[in-house]
Amino acid sequence: MKKLAIAASLVASPAFAASGPFFSLYNTDFVVLLSFLAFIGVLVYLKVPGKLAGMLDKRAEGIQRELDEARALREEAQSVLASYERKQKEVQEQAERIVASARTEAEAAAAKAKEDLKSTIERRLAAADEQIESAKTSAVREVRDRAITVAVAAAREVVARQMTDASNDRLVEAAIGDVQAKLKLH
């Protein structure tokens, strides 16, 4: 309560500063009041409050237009964003389809390459088997030829040791007889 009384006395003290009667031109408070009322009158006469209200209304309309434009831009931005999100989703789906297709094609190519490799290996194994068989046949033939050569050489030696002139004549006559017999048959 004490604080309220002190605040009231501080606020009211300038009003008591004037000396003399209140409605006198020597009273500064009265002169200030008249000046203030004249100033307000001039403002009303010049229609300043209307102009101020008009300027404020104009400013309010400008702000409202800007707000409406901002709302329209926001809505447009949201629609563009939604459009881009749809496009991004479509592109993502298309990319997934492309990846799936590429994966399928890669798996098919891998399977074909595996089959081709398998057939190539089979052909090479068959060619190797043929070469082995050919080498085996060649080796057998070579061994046989070598055995024949060795047998002929051994037989020649044996025949040369056991051959006499008489047995030689007998063999020659037998061979001539065999040839004549074969010639008559044909």
The answer to whether residue 128 is domain-embedded is: no
Q: Which pLDDT belongs to residue 22? A: 79
Can you give the pLDDT at residue 11? 47
Residue 171 lies in a domain: no
Alpha carbon distance 39, 25 (integer Å): 17
Q: Does some domain include residue 150?
A: no
CA distance 72 to 95: 34
Here the tokens at position 142 are 């070579």
Query: DSSP letters of 33-83?
Result: HHHHHHHHHHHHHTTHHHHHHHHHHHHHHHHHHHHHHHHHHHHHHHHHHHH
Contact between residue 63 and residue 57 where contact means Cβ atoms under 8 Å apart: no
Judge whether 167 lies within some domain. no
28 CB-near residues (< 8 Å, 6+ apart): 18
Cite the DSSP H helix spans in 13-47.
Answer: 28-45
Distance from C-alpha of 30 to C-alpha of 22, rounded to nearest angstrom: 6
Contact by Cβ (8 Å): 139, 147: no
Alpha carbon of residue 19 to chain centroid? 93
| Domain around 54 | 12-114
- Whether the per-residue pLDDT at 26 is higher than 90: the answer is no
> Per the domain annotation, does 182 fall within a domain?
no
For the stretch 79-104, pLDDT in tens is: 999 999 999 999 999 999 999 999 99
pLDDT (mean) for 95-117: 92
Q: How confident is the model at residue 8, as a pLDDT?
A: 46
Q: Does residue 107 sit within a domain? A: yes
Residue 178 lies in a domain: no
Question: What pLDDT score does 41 carry?
Answer: 94
CA distance 95 to 88: 10
User: 39-83, pLDDT tens digit by residue?
Assistant: 999 999 999 889 999 999 999 999 999 999 999 999 999 999 999
* Percent share of the chain, pLDDT over 70: 89
Calculate the dihedral angle through the C-alpha atoms of 80, 85, 90, 91, rounding to the nearest 10 degrees. Answer: 100
Q: Over the stretch 135-144, which tens digit does the pLDDT of each residue have? A: 888 888 888 8
Query: How many domains does the chain divide into?
Result: 1
Instruction: Assign residue 21 a region (left: φ > 0; alpha: ψ between -120 and 50; beta: otherwise).
Output: beta
Q: Is residue 159 one of the residues assigned to a domain?
A: no
Six token digits for residue 182: 């074969």
Per residue in 10-23, pLDDT (tens digit) is 544 455 555 667 77
